[in-house]
Amino acid sequence: MTEKIIEELKKYLSMTTALKDAMRMSLDGDGENVWKYSSYKEFMRKYNMLVNEIAQVIELKPIIDFYNLEKVKGNCDTIAIQQKHYFDSVYSNLSILESFLRNKSEFKNDEIKNIKYFIQSNLRKVIFQEPEKEIEIQNGIEQLFIGKELTKGIDYGRETGRVNVSIKEVIPDFILYKLNLAIEVKLSKTKTKSKDIVDEINADIQAYGKKYSNQLYVVYDLGSIRDEDEFKKDLDNDENISLIIIKH
């Protein structure tokens, strides 16, 4: 895929996300109004326009739907529950299209790097006292996510997404759903613990790799790691596994 096509797809990804945002905003303030979905056909039309343009750039999968607007009744000929069905259908199709474009445009890798650098640059700022437990670091990361206007249960999950390994389960500290990214937090207090963390991460990589295509390990260090490059060796790569060390 050429750089020009990738740039085109990134443009359409932004337009798709903007249309989804417009659909959400159209519902704000309507409360219990059962007719708040009446703009469904206009959103269908805009969705069709997007799909038509994207199809000129890249072959679309059969899972990407297209609406025959001539067969879709207008809002004067439908009841509220039908309008909601149409509205939800458009939103779902936009989500599928967004995911498709995100993968094809390689935008996912950019976002993972952004998350990595965002945590690396800001986590220390929200940890005010020397932490005793990993949950304090987890709380700091969640605070950053909330500040970034990520929504729990939609954009990210905390201690969800179990992975079965043999007779036990492992659970990542965080998941970023759209990026298929598992985030695991480690607190290194002593040299002995830092060595144990290397073994833990190696085990986690094998386990989480069964379900998640991308993994990020955040090691919060209280002074036990002297050589960061040596610590990261074989645990950090340019593809799908990243490790960052935050010094207190």
CA separation for the pair 99, 182 (Å, rounded): 17
Segment 178-236, tens digit of pLDDT: 888 999 999 999 888 888 999 999 888 888 888 888 899 999 999 999 888 888 887 88
Determine the angle formed by the axes of helices 107-126 and 80-104, rounding to 10 degrees: 90
Mean pLDDT, range 49-69, rounded to an integer: 91
Determine whether 76 is exposed, middle or buried from the number of CB atoms within 10 Å of its CB (0-12, 13-18, 19+): exposed
CA separation for the pair 111, 106 (Å, rounded): 9
In this prediction the pTM is 0.60
User: In this predicted structure, what is the pLDDT of residue 7?
Assistant: 84
- Please say whether the beta carbons of 201 and 243 come within 8 A: yes
- Please say whether the beta carbons of 207 and 232 come within 8 A: no
Q: Residue ranges of the domains in the chain?
A: 3-104, 107-247
Mean pLDDT, range 157-183, rounded to an integer: 84
Structure tokens at 105: 């445009």
- Please say whether the beta carbons of 155 and 178 come within 8 A: yes
Mean of per-residue pLDDT scores for the chain: 89
- Residue 73, C-beta contacts closer than 8 angstroms, at least 6 positions apart: 82
- Please say whether the beta carbons of 94 and 16 come within 8 A: yes
User: Which of 26-40, 72-86, 140-154, 186-200 has the weakest average pLDDT?
Assistant: 26-40
The sheet carrying 181-188 orders its strands as 156-158, 174-176, 181-188, 214-221, 241-247
Q: Does residue 44 surpass a pLDDT of 90?
A: yes
Mean pLDDT, range 25-54, rounded to an integer: 90
CATH of domain 107-247: 3.40.1350
Longest dimension (CA), the chain: 71
| DSSP per-residue codes, 90-150 | HHHHHHHHHHHHHHHTTHHHHHHHHHHHHHHHHHHHH--S--SSHHHHHHHHHHHHHHTT-
